[in-house]
Amino acid sequence: MVHFQVIQNLSDKLGVRYVELNFVICQCLALLCSYIFRWFFKPTKVSATTRHAVQLVVGFLLAILAFNMGLFHVLIDATVCYIMMLTIDPHLAQYYVFAFSMSYMSAVHIYHQSLELGVYNLDYIGPLMILTMKLSSLSWSIHDGCARDEDKLTDQQKKMIVRKVPNPLEFYSFIFNVPGLLVGPVCYFTHYIEFIDGTNFMHSVKNEKEEEVMVYKEPSSVRAVTGKLLFTVMSALVLMLVVPRFPIWGNVDDDFINNRSMLYKIAFLMLSIEVAKSKYFFAWVWADAINNAAGIGFNGYDKHGKPKWDGVTNIRIWNFETATSLKVLVDSWNVTGSTWLRHVCYDRVPFQKQLITFVLSAVWHGFYMGYFITFLSASLFVTAAKKVRINLRHHFQSSVGLSRLYDVLTWACTHLCLAYFIAPFTFLRWDPCIKYFNSLYWFLHILAIAALFLPGRRRTKPPSEETSKRPEVLNHNLPPHISESFNGSLQFEDKKEAVKREWANQEQVICIFYVFIYSCLSYQLWSGARG
């Protein structure tokens, strides 16, 4: 990899890796360029062609700085796939594009792994992974638009549908667009064209004659960008100051394994994983801010009339941290990546959808054993969690208190499972992964496998019994002013919705519990370290 001497000298003085400093510089430039683009190249001032050209030229120059020689990998991969889209029948092109882009990226993964160069997703490998998402999703969207009946498409496929192969300017502008160049989030082609044309800011209003007309109204993203940049700074501080105190590799230290109790090991594991997330929060939330600065990610208005800027995002932090199921947790992490997996794999394969999707995710990350251990374990735990939910959840729905208790317990179990199976993602190699699981006696794997033998579905009561008994039980546990408002004809599900509205602060309870638990764990570890 060719280094720019100025950046190399500065990285030596600051004592940081070249790729880290280069990433920060490129992201700062991307943020500045995004604001300039939005100020001076609005869709109301210049044509879509001009906006495409600006994104292509600036993105290409930024790629030279960010990727160095890796730029050739991006160009080769993108160009070959584009030629396939132009020349191969749309009934089949998506298979060739998917196979080539995955194979090319995999070859780069294997090359780096064979030379023991380590994992540096801040160089060109990360953008090459994003490129694979862009190319394969675009080819499948073209297939959906040109070779399938729209009636047979899923809602997501309809939103991402593309009716024709884009021209070269549109294609390479999409590949090199500045806001999503380094770490995403991936703005898929349909949404990218809406951003370029300005139709993402078009909405219908009534004129003086009460006629529906389309107007262009671009809301401010200053508040969203500022908040995300502040969160980025906080994540950077945690990454620099806290993560070194609780390293994930500490979980496989010989002294730690031999001289710490099981409870202490679990506490340290959860804290080390929790603070390690700051690495992804730092990169992804910053990338979200850059997209919002350019005008990407607008998602309508909330009930208070404030603009929402979460339409294109890498992570939904609140949903992720308060998730009470592994499915919600997985769907809230690397959101555009989850969209890609569903678009090119989960909705396409005829059998074992979940398992194949997790395997594809592992291959997309690379070929270290730690990736496969993590994602195969995740598939096991997601399946086991569904079985547990089916067999246990209904026992906690007779009152609001029990429902809250269930949410708290499932939250704790969800994040314990995450910490347990995600650690090998960092260890990478086989030996430390096995050493780590041996130190914890594989206890969650054993419980998950046992859960698979639970019944698939619980037997439901006859409808008459459901409607005659359930409301009675529920009413006894409701506050009086709610209970009196119900009448006998109201169905149980309607009453359950009323309970949800009455206790809408349930997420706050989970958040408070979240802070309490981690405070206790921190104190436990701090006391143990001092002792």
Q: 95 and 188: one domain?
A: yes
Residues 50, 151 within the same domain:
yes
Q: Percentage of residues in the chain with pLDDT exceeding 70? A: 83
Q: What is the pLDDT of residue 480?
A: 40
Residues 6+ apart with CB under 8 A from 461: 469
For 358-381, the pLDDT digits (tens) are 999 999 999 999 999 999 999 999
pLDDT at 204: 73
Residues 236 and 190 in one domain: no
Please give the torsion angle defined by the CA atoms of residues 275, 280, 286 and 291, in that order, rounded to the nearest 10 degrees. -150
pLDDT at 466 (0 to 100):
41
The pLDDT score that the predictor gives to residue 491 is 44
- The whole-number average pLDDT for the span 303-315 is 89
Given the structure tokens 């997985």, which residue do they identify?
A: 330
In this predicted structure, the answer to whether residue 328 has a pLDDT above a threshold of 60 is yes
pLDDT score at 434? 95
Report, as an integer, the average pLDDT of 125-142: 95
Choose the weakest-confidence range: 4-8, 51-55, 155-159, 174-178: 4-8
Lowest mean pLDDT among 109-123, 222-236, 333-347, 478-492: 478-492
Judged on CB neighbours under 10 Å (0-12, 13-18, 19+), 257 is middle
**Within this chain, do residues 188 and 77 fall inside the same structural domain, yes or no?**
yes
Catalytic residues: 334, 365
In a shared domain, residues 73 and 186: yes
Total residues belonging to the chain: 531
Q: Do 231 and 179 sit in the same domain of this protein?
A: no
Average predicted confidence (pLDDT) for the chain: 85
- Is residue 495 predicted with pLDDT exceeding 50? no
Do the domain assignments include residue 37? yes
Single residue among 239, 273, 305 that ends a domain in this structure: 305
Say what the pLDDT of residue 520 is: 53
Q: What is the pLDDT of residue 120?
A: 58
Q: Which of 305, 320, 336 is the last residue of a domain?
A: 305
Cβ proximity of 418 and 444 under 8 Å: no
How far CA 225 is from CA of 31, 151, 294, 395, in Å, comes to 10, 38, 10, 44
Q: Is residue 441 part of a domain?
A: no
Range of the domain at 52: 5-201
pLDDT at 472: 38
Are 183 and 54 in the same domain?
A: yes
> Vertex 334, ends 449 and 327: CA angle to 5°?
35
Q: Does 154 lie in the same domain as 106?
A: yes
Question: Rounded to whole angstroms, how far apart are CA atoms 262 and 17?
Answer: 36
Q: Does the pLDDT at position 410 exceed 90?
A: yes
Check residue 38 and give its pLDDT.
94
Residue 118's pLDDT is 62
User: What does the alpha-carbon distance between residue 81 and residue 99 come to, in Å, rounded to a whole number?
Assistant: 10
Q: What integer pLDDT is reported at residue 413 of this predicted model?
A: 94
SS3 203: strand
Looking at residue 9, its pLDDT comes to 82
Same domain, 180 and 275: no
Same domain, yes or no: 113 and 185: yes
Q: Which of 61-65, 216-220, 423-427 has the lowest mean pLDDT?
A: 216-220
Across the range 503-518, mean pLDDT stands at 45
Q: Is residue 249 pLDDT above 60, yes or no?
A: yes
